[in-house]
Amino acid sequence: MELYLKKVRGKGRGVFCTIDLNEGDVIEVCPVIVCPPKDCKHLDKTTLYHYYFQWGNDGKSAGVVCGFGPMYNHSYNPNAVYETFYEKHIFRVKARRFIKANTEITINYNFYPDEQTPVWFDLDKEKTDDKKRAHTATKNAEKKVAKKTEKKPVKKADKKADKK
């Protein structure tokens, strides 16, 4: 079995496999570098922010997953699941259902494969979309006010009539 990365429209790179995978097949076992909670605030200021997982039973540590682990893209209907073994510092990815060769392998970043809670980048997108909608609404309102208060140009003939 060979895993590989490939560009995925709208997602960056994703993980793929050269062979068909059956439900329950172990796709990858990844070692994890665990960072204590005090280091998370520093990680959050780096590119790794988008790639580490909350780690430990309390979720306060950071798990920097090695191998292809951080490259699996998110889906609310993933074809794979991941398991975390905190004491062993292991992140294991398994097929949730049959995955045809050369199909992107996805996981749900919420841990539970059926969990539909929006993940951080979807929340950020919602905030951005809300800001765009608010900005557009403000601009449209400003245009309406400007049109109402806009003075219509007075024709020369009307100016002469006003002088009489």
Average pLDDT over residues 29-41: 95
Is residue 112 domain-shared with residue 128, that is, in the same domain? no
At 100-128, the pLDDT tens digits run 999 999 999 887 778 888 776 676 655 55
Note whether 89 and 153 are same-domain residues: no
Report the CATH number that the domain containing residue 99 is assigned in CATH.
2.170.270.10
Is the domain of 137 the same as that of 92? no
In this structure, are 35 and 107 located in the same domain? Answer: yes
Are 94 and 37 contained in the same domain? Answer: yes
25/74 same-domain check: yes
Same domain, 67 and 130: no
Number of domains within the chain: 2
Neighbours of 80 (CB within 10 A): 25
Judge if 102 and 130 occupy the same domain: no
In sequence order, which residues have a C-beta less than 8 Å from that of residue 100 and are 6 or more positions away?
20
Question: pLDDT per residue over 3-32, tens digit each?
Answer: 999 999 989 999 999 999 999 999 999 999
Provide the domain limits for residue 38: 3-117
Domain boundary at 87, 102, 117, which? Answer: 117
Whether 68 shows a pLDDT value over 60: the answer reads yes
